[in-house]
Amino acid sequence: MPSLSHDHLELESSSHVPETYRWPPSHRHDYPTTSTANIPVVDISLPEAASLIDSACRSWGVFYVTSHGIPSHLLQAAETQTHRLFSLPLHRKLLASRRPGSISGFGRPPLSAFFPKLMWSEGFTLAGNPLNEVASTLWPEPDHDHDSRSHFCELMDDYKKSMRDLARKLLRLTLASIGGHGDGEERVGWLGLKDQMIEALQLNSYPPCPEPEKAIGMATHTDSGFLTILHQSGNMEGLQVLQPNDGSDPIQWVPIRPMAGALVVHVGDLLQILSNGRFKSVRHRAVVSRSEHRVSMAYFYGPPSDVKVGPMVLPGQCPIYRPTTWPEYLEIRARLFDGSLESIKISHT
C-alpha cells in the first residue's frame, strides 16, 4: 500500500493547517475581492451568440454559458459520482496515483511544482487511459464493486461526450468571431478532425479547511488549451478570476459563483495565441471554506497533438506569437509556467 505523507493528508479530518499547506500572502495573491463586477452571460441559442462570445473573450476571458443543452440531471449525477470518488479512503485513491510521465490519475496539480506550498485540494484526471482501468483500481472487488465501476464509467463517458459536443459548438462560434468574415473554421481546418481533438476531465475536491485564510485550494494560473468548461457544485463560492484592467484600477479578484442552469467557460493560452492576443487567457484561482466541501469538474479542450496553432491574422495585422503544438507548449509551461506566452512572442523590432 502506498505510504501516506504530508503530500497526501486526510484533509477533511485535519484540525489545523500544517506548515506545508500554509501559504504566505504574497503567494496567495491576496488582492481585494469585489462582488460588483458583472461576468458576461452568453445564451448560445441566440443568433448573435458569436458576437457575444467575442465580446466576453475580449473583455474578461471568462463567461457563463446558458442554453448549452446538457441536462441538469446529468450534471448532478456526474457531481454525485465525483463526490463518491473523493469520499473513498485515501489509501484506495493512492492506488490510482498519477504515474510518472502520465497526466491521468489521482494526485496534486502539475502546477504544484511552481509553488513552495501544497494546495488544500485533491485532484483526479481522466485522460487517455480507459475509464474502466481507472475504475477497477478504485473499486477493485469484482462482485461487490461491479455496479460502482460500471455506473462511474457510464456517467463519466456520458458527461465527457456532452462536454465534447458543447466544446466543439463553442469553438465554432469562437472561430467565427476570430475569422473576421465568419470563415474561421475553414481557415484552421483541424476542427473537422473530431476524433483527434485532445480532451481531459479534471475532477477537483476542496475539503473544509480549519484556517481558510492561510491556505489555497488552487493557486493562481491560466489554463493551457483552447477552452475550459467548468461545472461547480451547489451554491458555494470558490472560483475567482482576476479582473482585467489596464493598470489604472486596483487589481481585484472577482468571485465566479455557481449560476443555476449555467456552466463557466475559460479562455486558455492556446486560444489567446490563435486569436493573436485578441482574447486573453484568464488568470484564476480557487479558495477554500471553513465549513463547506466543494467539488468542481473542469473539461479541457484542445487541438490534435500534431497541429501547430498559430495566430489567425486579419488584414493589416502582424502575428504576435509563433506557432506551437499543444505538447510543445506544455513542455514550455513545465519550464516557465507564467512566462510561457511571453517566451513565444515574436519581436517585430
Q: What is the residue type of 325? A: T
Given 294, 322, 333, 335, which residue is catalytic?
A: 294
Q: Are 344 and 324 in contact (CB under 8 A)?
A: yes
Q: Are 305 and 325 in contact (CB under 8 A)?
A: yes
* Cα diameter, the chain: 67
Q: Which of 333, 44, 21, 347 is nearest to 177 (CA)?
A: 44
- Distance CA(153)–CA(85), nearest Å, equals 12
Task: Calculate the CA dihedral of residues 335, 282, 266, 11 and round it to 10 degrees.
Answer: 70
- Distance CA(245)–CA(251), nearest Å, equals 7
180: cell is 473576421
DSSP 99-143: PTT---EEE--GGGGGSSS--S-EEEEE-SS-HHHHHHHHS--TT
Q: Is the dihedral of CA 326, 328, 330, 332 positive or negative?
A: negative
98 catalytically annotated: no
Active-site residue numbers?
294
